[in-house]
Amino acid sequence: MATLTLTWQRLHLGRWGLLFVVLLLVAVPLPQFFAPERNLVTDSLLFSLTQMFILITLASNWNLTGGLTGYVDFGHAVFFGVGAYGTGILMGQPGWEPWPEALTLWSFWPAMLVGGIVAAVFAVLLGSATLRLKGPYFSIAMLGTFVAMRELVRVVRPLTGGGLGMTLPPYLNRPLFYYLTLTLAGLVVALMWWIRRTEFGSTLIAIREDEVGAEMRGINTTLHKITAFWIAAFLSGLVGGIWAYQNAYIDPDVVFLPNRTVDMVMMTMLGGLGTVAGPVIGAATIYWLRDVVWSNLLLFHQIAEGILLIIIVLGAPEGIMGVLGDRSATSLPRLWRKWFPSTSSESEQPA
Amino acid sequence: MNLSDLILQAVINGILIGGFYAVMMLGFSVIWGVMGVINLAHGEFLMVGAYLTWVLNRQYGIDPFIALIVVLPAMFLLGYIFQRILINRIIERPFLIALLVTYGLSVAMASTVKLIYKADPRVTDTALTGFWNLSDGVGIPATKFYILIAALIMMAGLYLFLQYTRLGKSIRAAAQNKEAARMVGIEIGQVYAITFAICIALTGAAGALISPTTSIFPFMGPVLTLKAFAITAMAGLGNIPGALMGGIILGLVENLIATLVPGVGSNLGITSSFILLVVVLVTRPQGLFGGLKPAEAR
């Protein structure tokens, strides 16, 4: 037991790491207790958890460029879409007549991998142009890329089926998708934890804090930014492929859902920008919160979500991790003052 | 109709829609220039203005161009209230907060309008219709021409206001140097609120202008916001002549692509505007024409 404790301390995982491992130990055997008649572990629970793991993975990927590197990406879902369509085109039968035989009806695994690689290549090409932009210019250029890609998919009808969409071979196997997304989510969180403590991660943080300074220190900032960008894009592309296979049908509107791209920002923001646990907590919170909001306020859920976003951002810009880690915010009045600084303070500041 | 006629018609349409784009994005660009807030709910404010015009048009039979008399003050008031309640809280914060808060606002506004008026597209009626033939098939659609004239008048009004009135000068001062503006006794909070209100009034008016020629629906906003951003980045923040040039460039590119590339329709409009944007940003980050102040990353 003593050696086990010592090994644990050497890993520097901390309390969050412990929680992560415990959650994994709960999550891994869960489908073994599959029992629809006892209403405990049902199809819909597995499906919900799968969706949650997808969101956790996407939010963690976003965190690599948005939180760690400080490049706030409002169009990251474009890589999800490219992965989904890459997988879909290989697995389905596009209508283009001289379409090479070798590129139709692939099985899922190679198609998913190719989808991820296509997303990564796209990220390298795109990033080498857009990552030179700073601040809001980068954010909006990516948002534009996202919208432009949706229109492009709609126009390239022979390849993507246009607005009608395309179907994939349907395959209903909840435990498979459960384990697939769980593995991916676990791997991505572990990867983020590892990156956070390598030199690569420190370099990304240096770029976030002072890009010019980092460059003067001899860091090739463009190379590091593009590397972070394509890693995140590759993983999001894989998620897109899995999602497309699970959904068995893709069209521009469901794949390039405007909410999806901002969801990642919202979840990471709620959990805590630039932290490893933040995106996980944020994604899980928002997913279950949304489940509640969605089922109770059917007509108003979008209005409620918009207002919720405003409250989260204004109320806790540091996220849940920030509030938990903040020792000064122990009493409720203090929290209130911290979250809602008086609006007239700007005239009191020394000019 | 041969190809040169088609191109000529596309150029005419491009210039006419360019005037609308210019007045549509001015509010966005001045808010960004003065307050440093990128207002992602810009298109939704335009949509609200358009719906207000639709209600006036359908229920009281008021022409959209005359409805401006009601829409301008109503949207001014709406903008003032929103600035005091919400936008004031995000002005001196990191840009991510402004982006997220205004995005949340845009979702809430679009869904509210959808809840009230449903999602089906609507259009208003105007008395100013017609088509002036120049040669066979090529001509100027009258409604769009009047829209361009109204847009030019509003832009000239804003230009004169910013250039020659006391309030306009304080707005420009606040944009250039906030601390110095405070030191000479400009009440910066009031200036911000008035600026936001004026910009929203202008945006709502743009919505009123577009309502006779384009169908309006609750989710028309985001594409317009993105176009406003693209033109702002091209033209420079708060630069009115630059806005006109940028708007016309975008209108020309869109219309020429829709005419010359077969089977595309106007779907590639937003794509082309963003390819244009990225090219301009990478080659000339300060914008093509300069502006209130250099566009800088915050």
- B107/A305 Cβ within 8 A: yes
Angle between helices A221-247 and A108-130 (to 10 degrees): 140
Report the CATH number at residue B239.
Answer: 1.10.3470.10
Structure tokens at A132: 């030179």
- A151/B297 Cβ within 8 A: no
Whether A96 shows a pLDDT value over 70: the answer reads no
The pLDDT, as a whole number, for residue B297 is 36
User: Domain ranges in chain A?
Assistant: 41-258
Distance of residue B171 Cα from the nearest chain A Cα, in angstroms: 17
Identify whether B130 is part of a domain.
no
Separation CA B265–CA B15 (nearest Å): 18
The pLDDT, as a whole number, for residue B200 is 96
Q: What is the ipTM of this complex?
A: 0.81
What are A298-322's pLDDT values in tens digits?
Answer: 778 788 888 888 888 888 777 777 7
The pLDDT, as a whole number, for residue B258 is 80
Identify whether B74 is part of a domain.
yes
CB A226 within 8 A of CB A124: yes
Identify whether B186 is part of a domain.
yes
- Of the residues A313, A345, A346, the best mutation for testing chain B's interface (the one with the most B CB atoms within 10 Å of its CB) is A313
Q: State the alpha helices, DSSP H only, in chain B.
A: 3-35, 42-60, 64-85, 95-117, 142-164, 166-176, 178-183, 188-210, 221-235, 240-260, 269-283
Surface-to-core class of residue B154, CB atoms within 10 Å of its CB (0-12 exposed, 13-18 middle, 19+ buried): buried
The pLDDT, as a whole number, for residue B1 is 62
Identify whether B206 is part of a domain.
yes
- Identify which of A260, A310, A308, A291 has the alpha carbon closest to the alpha carbon of residue A61: A260
Separation CA B260–CA B8 (nearest Å): 12
Residue-range definition of the domain harbouring residue B19:
3-120+138-283
| List of residues 6+ apart from A72 with CB closer than 8 A | A66, A135, A138, A139, A265, B95, B96, B99
- Identify which of A210, A209, A230 has the alpha carbon closest to the alpha carbon of residue A65: A230
- Between positions 120 and 139 of A, the ones with CB within 8 A of B are 129-130, 132-137, 139
DSSP B192-226: HHHHHHHHHHHHHHHHHHHTTTS-B-TT-HHHHHH
**Rounded mean pLDDT of A219-239?**
94
Separation CA B99–CA A182 (nearest Å): 31
What are A232-284's pLDDT values in tens digits?
Answer: 999 999 999 999 999 888 888 889 887 788 888 888 888 888 888 889 999 99
The pLDDT, as a whole number, for residue A226 is 95
Domain count across chain B? 1
The pLDDT, as a whole number, for residue A11 is 67
Apex B62 CA angle, B59 and B67, nearest 5: 115
The pLDDT, as a whole number, for residue A223 is 92
Whether A338 shows a pLDDT value over 80: the answer reads no
The pLDDT, as a whole number, for residue A39 is 65
Q: What is the mean pLDDT of chain A?
A: 82
Identify whether B174 is part of a domain.
yes
Nearest to A140 among B97, B179, B229 (CB): B229
- The tens-digit pLDDT sequence of chain B (298 residues) is 677 888 888 899 899 999 999 999 999 999 988 888 889 999 999 999 999 999 999 999 889 999 999 999 999 999 999 999 899 888 888 888 888 899 899 989 999 999 999 888 888 888 877 788 777 778 888 888 999 999 999 999 999 999 899 999 999 888 888 888 888 888 888 999 999 999 999 999 999 999 998 889 998 888 888 888 888 888 878 788 888 888 998 888 888 888 877 666 556 666 777 777 777 776 766 666 655 444 443 3
Q: For residue B23, what are the CA distances in angstroms to A213, A334, B114?
A: 40, 45, 25
CB B221 within 8 A of CB B201: no
Separation CA B7–CA B12 (nearest Å): 9
The pLDDT, as a whole number, for residue B294 is 44
**Rounded mean pLDDT of A178-189?**
93
Q: For residue A132, what are the CA distances in angstroms to A65, A341, B250, B293?
A: 14, 35, 23, 21
SS3 content of chain A, % helix, strand, coil (to 5): 75, 0, 25
